[in-house]
Amino acid sequence: MAKVLIYGAGSIGSFFGYLLSEVVVGDGGKEENRTPIVENVALLGRRGHIGKIREKGLEVALTEGDIPLSIRFRYTFADLDELARSEFVPEVVVVTVKTPSLTAIAKEIKESGLLANKLSDAWFVLLMNGMGNRERFDLPDDRIFEGITSIGVVFSGEGGIELKGRGKTVFEAEIGEDLKEFLEVRLSEKGFVAEFAVDFRAQQWMKLFANAVINPITALTREKNGIVLSEHLAGVVETIVGECVAVAEKEGQKFDEREVLKFVRNVAKETSANTSSMLQDVLRGRWTEIDSINGYIFDIAAKHDTKVLANEMLCGLVKAIETRETKVAASDRLPRNVKVKG
């Protein structure tokens, strides 16, 4: 049973804490009255969220209207110092923070000294939106893998999360066989799909295409994903997709623009009632992942001396509405400069 640290236990991170957990029966009298406790997964997240989980357990609502599951974790941390003082030794660290935090996280992990002891043999799995994340996470590359997920989760309050959309989670095929088996078994046990893609880079691009359209449009209009299907935005969507596909081709990834457009519209249709992660960030006054989505498209285009005016405009507009003061001033967060995903 692999020991997993969820680094950045926001909404999606906490949900993966649930997905990867193996519950054991704790002490407390008759077996039916004992409290289930998770020992193989530890959560590291914002102090307020972690405090509520310590107090009442993590509440996971899988179906709207049903009574949420309540899951207690033996190990929960609000910072790396608490991890260092604990008995928990992770074999896998699943990183689910916001992409702008990756550089700061890598720096803090290195400065903590944990790479020489508790994390000396740990694998790191980056599970988040956007591209260029491996480059931002400045740790030994041979210990880093990436994944993407289409599962939709939102906060229902401190210590609580709610599943909003089911979808598959895709990891790099190069991930170790033991870890691959662990991930596949844990997700399938709870009714979710884990895939291991040889063409992971292509799948990352497809996810980026959808994110580059849906996330900024919903953040700017403050509407759910279905707004992307508006006839008034048809030309805008086509332009964004066209720019993204052209940039991908510059990087050696060739896609059929019509098929990509069909895919993006299908994602918007299937998730029409969902609130995108970028809109959630804007509404909470948090940093968004725009730099690793449309900003990534803009940066790669610039490298190839290509103009992507629609993506540049979307990136600028979203960055203009990010509330810097709220994010910088927030004290109830991960250790220094770390933004939790979700």
CATH code at 309? 1.10.1040.10
Residue 52 forms part of a structural domain? yes
pLDDT at 288: 92
129 in Cβ contact with 289 (< 8 Å): yes
77 in Cβ contact with 44 (< 8 Å): yes
Is there a single domain that holds both residue 194 and residue 272?
A: no
Last residue in a domain, options 147, 171, 198:
198
Q: What percent of the chain has pLDDT over 70?
A: 90
User: Cβ of 242: how many Cβ atoms within 10 Å?
Assistant: 15
Torsion of CA 251, 252, 256, 260, to 10 degrees: -40
Reported confidence tier of residue 169, pLDDT bands at 50, 70, 90: very high
26 in Cβ contact with 64 (< 8 Å): no
**Mean pLDDT, the chain, as a whole number?**
90
Contacts of 189 (CB under 8 A, 6+ apart): none
For the segment 145-160, what is each residue's pLDDT rounded down to a tens digit?
999 999 989 899 999 9
Query: Distance between CA atoms of 28 and 162, rounded to whole angstroms?
Result: 28
Is there a single domain that holds both residue 320 and residue 284?
A: yes
7 in Cβ contact with 50 (< 8 Å): no
Is there a single domain that holds both residue 262 and residue 118?
A: no
Torsion of CA 263, 265, 266, 272, to 10 degrees: 140
User: Cβ of 41: how many Cβ atoms within 10 Å?
Assistant: 30
Residue 298 forms part of a structural domain? yes
Is there a single domain that holds both residue 58 and residue 115?
A: yes
Query: Distance between CA atoms of 203 and 293, rounded to whole angstroms?
Result: 14
Task: Tell me what the mean pLDDT of segment 59-74 comes to.
Answer: 90
Residue among 3, 74, 72, 83 at smallest CA distance from 45? 83
For the segment 71-88, what is each residue's pLDDT rounded down to a tens digit?
999 999 999 999 999 999
H or E stretch including 94? strand 92-95
Is there a single domain that holds both residue 65 and residue 136?
A: yes
Is there a single domain that holds both residue 233 and residue 89?
A: no
pLDDT at 123: 95
pLDDT at 1: 65
Is residue 334 over pLDDT 50?
no
Q: What is the CATH number of the domain that holds 16?
A: 3.40.50.720
322 vs 33 pLDDT, higher one? 322
Torsion of CA 31, 71, 102, 322, to 10 degrees: -170
Reported confidence tier of residue 30, pLDDT bands at 50, 70, 90: very low
For the segment 181-235, what is each residue's pLDDT rounded down to a tens digit?
999 999 999 999 999 999 999 999 999 999 999 999 999 999 999 999 999 999 9
Helix ranges restricted to H, 20-94: 47-56, 80-85
Is there a single domain that holds both residue 230 and residue 180?
A: no
Query: Distance between CA atoms of 84 and 90, rounded to whole angstroms?
Result: 11
For the segment 81-123, what is each residue's pLDDT rounded down to a tens digit?
999 999 999 999 999 998 888 999 999 999 999 999 999 999 9
Number of structural domains found in the chain? 2
Residue 333 forms part of a structural domain? no
71 in Cβ contact with 21 (< 8 Å): yes
- Domain range for 254 is 201-328
Last residue in a domain, options 182, 198, 214:
198
pLDDT at 323: 64
Q: Quickly tell me which residue has 């999360």 as its tokens.
A: 161
Reported confidence tier of residue 336, pLDDT bands at 50, 70, 90: very low
Residue 156 forms part of a structural domain? yes
